[in-house]
Structure 1
Amino acid sequence: MTSIPDTLHHQLITTLCYYILPVTVGASAAEGEEENYAAASVPAVLMMIFQYTDNSAFHCELLECLMALKADIVKDLLCVIAYGTPTSRPPAANLLFYYWPNLNPTLYDRRGVHIKFSDISSVLKAMFNKSAQAAKSDSISQTANSDSGESKNPKGWKPLVCQIEECDGDGTSEAVKVCHDHAVCLGACPDNPPPLYICIDCVEDIKREHSTVEFFDILMPMAQVSATCENKNCRSSEKNAIATCFSMECASYNGNKPIRYCTQCNNIRHNNRRGTDHVVHTTIGSPWAMDPQMQNYTIEAIVRLKAYLQKRAAYLVAMVCGLLWVCVHQHQIHLSRCWDVS
Structure 2
Amino acid sequence: MATTRAATFSAKIRTLTDFHTRISCNQQPPSNAEIITTLRYFQQTLIGFLKDVPSNNSTLFEKFVADSQRTSQYPNLNYSGLFYGIVNLLDVFPIITSGQTAIAEAILDTLKALYFFLDRECVDQLPYLLASQLGTFPAELDKKIVQLLCDCILPYSTSDDAFGGLSVPVVLMLVLQHPSDPGLHSWLLESLMSRRENVYHDLLSVIAKGTSEARISAVNLLFHYWPLINPQILHRKPIQYRVHGWSPVPCQNTMCTEKGPSIKRSYDPVACAKYGDTSPPMSICKGCFDQIETDQPLYFICQPMPASHSVVCQNKGCEASNRIAVGTCFAEDCIRAHQHVPLRLCQECFTHLHANPGAEAHRRHSGMTCVWNTILERDMIEAVVKLLKETSASLEGIEGEGKRPKWLRQLEGGQSLGRDIDSMSDERRMLSRYGIWLMAALCPPAPEAPSHAIGYIMSMLFQWFSTTALLPNDSMGAALEQLKTDFASDWMNLAISNHYEVFVTILMPDLPEYAQVGGAWDKFSSKKDQMKDGLSKMLALMPYDVISFETWNRVIPKWLRAISDDIEDEDLPELKILLCKIFEPDLCPLPFETNKVYEFISSRLLKGNYEETLDALDWLHLLCRMDITMSLNMVFDMFIECLKRLPDLNFPIKNEENDLEEDPGPLAVQVVM
TM-score, reference length from structure 2:
0.39
Distance 1:66 1:43, change over 3 A: same
2:144 maps to 11
2:378 maps to 296
Report the 3-state secondary structure (helix = DSSP H, G, I; strand = E; otherwise coil) of the residue aligned with 2:265.
strand
1:255 maps to 339
Q: Distance in 1 between matches of 2:272 and 2:248?
A: 19
1:6-155 paired onto structure 2 within 5 Å: 6-25=139-158, 27=159, 29-30=160-161, 37-102=163-228, 118-119=241-242, 155=244
Question: Equivalent of 2:290, from 204, 211, 215?
Answer: 204
Distance 1:52 1:168, change over 3 A: closer
Q: Could you report, residue by residue, the CA deviation over 1:36-87 in whole angstroms, capped at 9, with x for unpaired residues?
A: 5211211110111122344211111111111112221111111111111222
Higher relative contact order (CA 8 A, sep 6+): 1
1:271 maps to 355
- Farther-moved stretch of structure 1 (257-266 vs 96-105): 96-105
Distance 1:106 1:324, change over 3 A: closer
Question: Equivalent of 1:214, from 297, 302, 306?
Answer: 297
1:321 maps to 444
Question: Equivalent of 1:180, from 259, 263, 267?
Answer: 267
For the 8 Å contact 1:108–1:240, the answer to whether it is kept is no
Q: Distance in 1 between matches of 2:433 and 2:190?
A: 26
1:144 maps to none
Structure 2: unaligned runs, 5 residues or longer: 1-132, 392-429, 453-497, 499-673
1:130 maps to none
Q: Distance in 2 between matches of 1:9 and 1:41?
A: 19
1:239 maps to 323
Say whether residues 1:228 and 2:351 are aligned partners: no
Say whether residues 1:193 and 2:279 are aligned partners: yes
Q: Distance in 1 between matches of 2:381 and 2:326?
A: 22
Q: Distance in 2 between matches of 1:24 and 1:6?
A: 25
Q: Distance in 1 between matches of 2:225 and 2:216?
A: 14
**CA shift for structure 1 position 22:** 1.4
For the 8 Å contact 2:176–2:213, the answer to whether it is kept is yes
Q: Distance in 1 between matches of 2:280 and 2:437?
A: 44
Q: Could you report, residue by residue, the CA deviation over 1:272-295 in whole angstroms, capped at 9, with x for unpaired residues?
A: 62321111111123222412xx11
Question: Equivalent of 1:160, from 243, 249, 266?
Answer: 249
Q: Could you report, residue by residue, the CA deviation over 1:11-32 in whole angstroms, capped at 9, with x for unpaired residues?
A: 101111111111112x2x25xx
Report the 3-state secondary structure (helix = DSSP H, G, I; strand = E; otherwise coil) of the residue aligned with 1:296.
helix
For the 8 Å contact 1:287–1:323, the answer to whether it is kept is no
Q: Could you report, residue by residue, the CA deviation over 1:214-237 in whole angstroms, capped at 9, with x for unpaired residues?
A: 211110010235211110011111
Q: Distance in 1 between matches of 2:339 and 2:234?
A: 23
Q: Distance in 2 between matches of 1:261 and 1:4?
A: 40
- Farther-moved stretch of structure 1 (38-47 vs 300-309): 300-309
For the 8 Å contact 2:387–2:431, the answer to whether it is kept is yes
Distance 1:188 1:52, change over 3 A: same
Q: Distance in 2 between matches of 1:275 and 1:303?
A: 38
Cα-Cα RMSD = 2.9
Distance 1:215 1:55, change over 3 A: same
Report the 3-state secondary structure (helix = DSSP H, G, I; strand = E; otherwise coil) of the residue aligned with 1:161.
coil
